[in-house]
């Protein structure tokens, strides 16, 4: 049952609305003029409201406050976690049925920097604007779903919780989620407000863009800089120097010859790949360069330990003993995420999605959750290729599909689903 509150009426009066084939904003159309499915309209408006709150990484507080206000107005318990994290639902209050499996919906509110794509707009069945697909549309679904279901929590097959966090778009070392999970594990019970810990979840659904499909696990993401040292000289007498770009070029050729290696988990195929991403070197057109740098990105499969990944990457570089010590600097390293599609709730989500599961050929916060011991999958309304584009958008029917799929999962659960 979907309940409309005074907040909804107010929200409809201040956000954009959907009209067939038109671009509209709140200043153009009154709520009475709106047409279309009420849920679709509400999810679009909620997404647009979030899009229009700038929240680049390290500046997410206004978006977090907006979501907290919406949840509180609907009676959903809210708790502020460590590292600019908002937790709510049964993570912030006791459950009527504490034996029901806990499902957590998770999303990040930060975006990449603006590219003249704010404010957002609603146009032709889509919400356009910075972060619409990655992943403010998903965060709007999380908030609206919790607001709608909370009054019926006693009748749900699952306990429900939400986590909205910051700084996902930054390097792994700056992510807010892992420090939050660490702090949460050590938080005294009396500070949980009677709610559960994240690590008690039977399943976490990370609502990264997946086009409405369940994508399992994620790749590890290792970035390194390789430094080559030679000797500068005049370019007219190159024999008097050692060209660092020659050594870099040899490594570049070797990397281009490294094949993608396929790994299968739970019937899903992940590709292990190493890629040269940028080159730096040279002083002037008449100087043999004495130094050069090569940036390398290595994506490795679920199940590979981080230490093994670093050894494998160094082996692919084939620098030799004289260069191995100090030639490679690890710039960033985000571990891979486990493939956890065997849980009954994950299987039920796959069935409800209407699509076969896919491998996540990228990195997502699923890694942080599975490292913490929580089964987690990716499932969200956004379209991955649209993330970070200037004309980023999320389809409104995708928002509805995600909402209704998760609503059914939370209401009905899955046979034999326990924690």
Q: Which helix (H) or strand (E) holds 186?
A: helix 177-186
Burial track 238-257 (b if 16+ CB lie within 10 A, e otherwise): eeebbbbbebbeebeeebee
Q: Is the Cβ–Cβ distance between 304 and 257 less than 8 Å? A: no
Is the Cα dihedral 230, 235, 238, 241 positive or negative? negative
Q: What are the Cα distances from residue 6, in Å, to 73, 167, 389?
A: 9, 32, 35
Q: Which of 371, 336, 266, 346 is nearest to 103 (CA)?
A: 346
Beta-sheet pairing, 121-123 with 23-24: antiparallel
For residues 122 and 222, give the distance between their C-alpha atoms in angstroms, rounded to a whole number: 37
For residue 257, the number of C-alpha atoms closer than 13 Å in the C-beta half-sphere is 9
* Beta bridge partners of residue 271, listed in sequence order: 262
Out of 8, 52, 148, 168, the active site residue is: 168
Cβ contacts of residue 99 below 8 Å, gap of 6+? Answer: none
* Beta bridge partners of residue 121, listed in sequence order: 128
Cβ contacts of residue 55 below 8 Å, gap of 6+? Answer: 62, 63, 109, 110, 111, 131
144 part of the active site:
no
Which tokens go with 196? 């559960």
Out of 8, 52, 60, 110, the active site residue is: 110
110 part of the active site:
yes
In 246-357, DSSP assigns E strands to: 261-265, 268-281, 287-288, 291-300, 328-334
Q: Which of 365, 222, 376 is nearest to 305 (CA)?
A: 222
Q: Which of 241, 221, 87 is nearest to 164 (CA)?
A: 87
Q: How far is C-alpha 140 from the chain's CA centre?
A: 14
- Residues forming the active site: 110, 168
């Amino acid at each position: 049952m979907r309940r409309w509150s005074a907040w909804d009426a107010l929200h409809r009066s201040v956000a954009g609305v959907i009209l067939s084939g038109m671009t509209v904003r709140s200043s153009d159309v009154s709520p009475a003029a709106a047409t279309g499915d009420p849920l679709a309209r509400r999810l679009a408006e909620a997404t647009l409201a979030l899009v229009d709150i700038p929240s680049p990484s390290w500046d997410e507080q206004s978006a977090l406050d907006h979501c907290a206000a919406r949840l509180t107005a609907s009676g959903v318990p809210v708790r502020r976690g460590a590292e600019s994290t908002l937790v709510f639902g049964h993570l912030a209050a006791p459950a009527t049925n504490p034996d029901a499996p806990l499902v957590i919906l998770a999303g990040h509110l930060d975006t990449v920097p603006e590219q003249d794509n704010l404010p957002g707009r609603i146009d032709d069945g889509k919400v356009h604007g910075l972060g619409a697909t990655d992943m403010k549309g998903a965060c709007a679904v999380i908030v609206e779903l919790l607001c709608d279901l909370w009054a019926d929590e006693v009748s749900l097959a699952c306990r429900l919780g939400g986590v909205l966090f910051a700084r996902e778009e930054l390097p792994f070392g700056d992510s807010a989620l892992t420090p939050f999970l660490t702090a949460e594990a050590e938080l005294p019970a009396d500070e949980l407000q009677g709610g559960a810990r994240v690590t008690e979840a039977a399943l976490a659904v990370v609502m990264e863009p997946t086009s409405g499909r369940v994508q399992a696990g994620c790749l590890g993401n290792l970035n390194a800089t390789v430094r080559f040292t030679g000797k500068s000289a005049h370019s007219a007498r190159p024999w008097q120097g050692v060209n660092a770009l020659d050594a870099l070029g040899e490594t570049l050729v070797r990397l281009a010859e490294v094949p993608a290696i396929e790994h299968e988990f739970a019937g899903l195929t992940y590709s292990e790949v190493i890629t040269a991403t940028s080159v730096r070197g040279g002083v002037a057109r008449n100087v043999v360069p004495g130094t050069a740098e090569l940036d390398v990105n290595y994506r490795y499969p679920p199940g590979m330990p981080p230490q093994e990944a670093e050894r494998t990457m160094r082996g692919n570089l084939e620098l030799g003993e004289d260069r191995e010590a100090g030639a490679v600097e690890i710039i960033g390293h985000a571990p891979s995420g486990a493939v956890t599609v065997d849980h009954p709730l994950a299987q039920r989500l796959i069935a409800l999605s209407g699509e076969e599961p896919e491998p996540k050929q990228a990195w997502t916060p699923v890694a942080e959750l599975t490292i913490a011991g929580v089964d987690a999958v990716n499932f969200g309304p956004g379209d991955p290729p649209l993330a970070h584009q200037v004309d980023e958008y999320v389809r409104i029917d995708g928002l509805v599909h995600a909402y209704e799929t998760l609503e059914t999962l939370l209401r009905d659960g899955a046979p034999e689903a326990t924690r």
